[in-house]
């Protein structure tokens, strides 16, 4: 997984009742874009260092698609 600042990190809910979490990558630890990432989460406006698991994927900021939603 590789990301750059401005990309979105999407973490899918893996258990019943969990919702998709969407955040914006605001910082990189490694120049090559490999994890971990500093992520600003949209749902509660906080930032955390994230080591994404298999339930996560990156959506490039320049990818043309329908806006992501949390529902």
10-23 mean pLDDT: 85
56-68 mean pLDDT: 73
The token pair that represents 14 in the structure block:
């893996």
Q: Is residue 70 classed exposed, middle or buried when 0-12, 13-18 and 19+ CB atoms within 10 A define those classes?
A: exposed
In this prediction, residue 18 carries a pLDDT of 79
Please give the residue that has the higher pLDDT: either 22 or 66.
22
Confidence label for 71 from pLDDT (cuts 50, 70 and 90): very low
Q: Which of 46, 61, 5 is nearest to 29 (CA)?
A: 5
4-14 mean pLDDT: 91
Say if strands 8-11 and 37-41 run parallel, antiparallel, or are unpaired.
unpaired
Q: Hey, how many other C-beta atoms are within 10 angstroms of the C-beta on 39?
A: 25
In this prediction, residue 68 carries a pLDDT of 56
């Amino acid at each position: 997984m590789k990301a750059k600042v401005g990309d979105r990190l999407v973490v899918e809910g893996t258990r019943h009742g969990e919702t998709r979490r969407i955040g914006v990558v605001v910082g990189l630890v490694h120049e090559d874009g490999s994890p971990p990432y500093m992520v600003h989460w949209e749902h509660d406006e906080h930032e955390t260092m994230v080591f994404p698991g298999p339930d996560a994927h990156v959506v490039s900021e320049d990818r043309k698609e329908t806006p992501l939603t949390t529902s």
